[in-house]
């Protein structure tokens, strides 16, 4: 009986430790996605760019490379932040699996235009986003 109890207790501790490790891993994967969203909504290019690797690849749709590199990202978003004072992204839903963060977003470009639905798929390695793919949901 003592062996059975000891084994059960050991298994329980193992399960709790695994759950804690998964939560820590998930938080580390989410951190750069949260940081870039903060930078985006504050139109702060420095905070925004900190979330990305130097060699980030940005896809405008699955398999369609739009551009590559943090300097290009900085240039494009820097000018976007400067020219769109109403820019804001609302996080609708977030899914995290392994090193992937998938955000469903509503993006406001201008107060006189409706918000756009968007999906961003971020791939994270070593605490930085190394690849992002934007998907525009089809509207019928």
Range of the domain at 19: 2-135
CATH assignment at residue 46: 3.10.450.50
Structural domains of the chain, count: 1
Q: Which among 104, 94, 92, 102 has a CA at the least distance from the CA of 124?
A: 102
- The model's pLDDT over 61-109, given as tens digits with 9 standing for 90+, comes to 999 999 999 999 999 999 999 999 999 999 999 999 999 999 999 999 9
Residue 89, domain member (yes or no): yes
Question: For residue 140, is it within any domain?
Answer: no
User: Does residue 46 carry a pLDDT above 80?
Assistant: yes
d(CA 54, CA 49): 9
As a whole number, mean pLDDT of residues 35-49 equals 97
Whether residue 96 lies inside any domain: the answer is: yes
pTM over 0.75? The answer is yes
Which has more confidence, 93 or 17? 93
Query: CA end-to-end span of the chain, whole Å?
Result: 64
């Amino acid at each position: 009986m003592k062996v059975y109890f000891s084994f059960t207790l050991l298994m329980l501790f193992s399960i709790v430790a695994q759950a804690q490790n998964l939560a820590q891993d998930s938080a580390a994967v989410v951190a750069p996605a949260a940081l870039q969203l903060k930078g985006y909504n504050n139109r702060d290019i420095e905070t925004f760019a900190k979330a990305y690797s130097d060699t980030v690849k940005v896809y405008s749709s699955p398999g369609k490379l739009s551009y590559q590199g943090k300097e290009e990202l900085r240039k494009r978003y820097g000018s976007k932040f400067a020219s769109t004072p109403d820019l804001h992204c609302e996080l609708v839903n977030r899914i995290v699996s392994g090193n992937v963060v998938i955000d469903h977003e509503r993006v406001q470009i201008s107060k006189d235009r409706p918000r756009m639905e968007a999906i961003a798929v971020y791939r994270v390695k070593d605490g930085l986003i190394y690849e992002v793919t934007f998907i525009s949901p089809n509207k019928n």
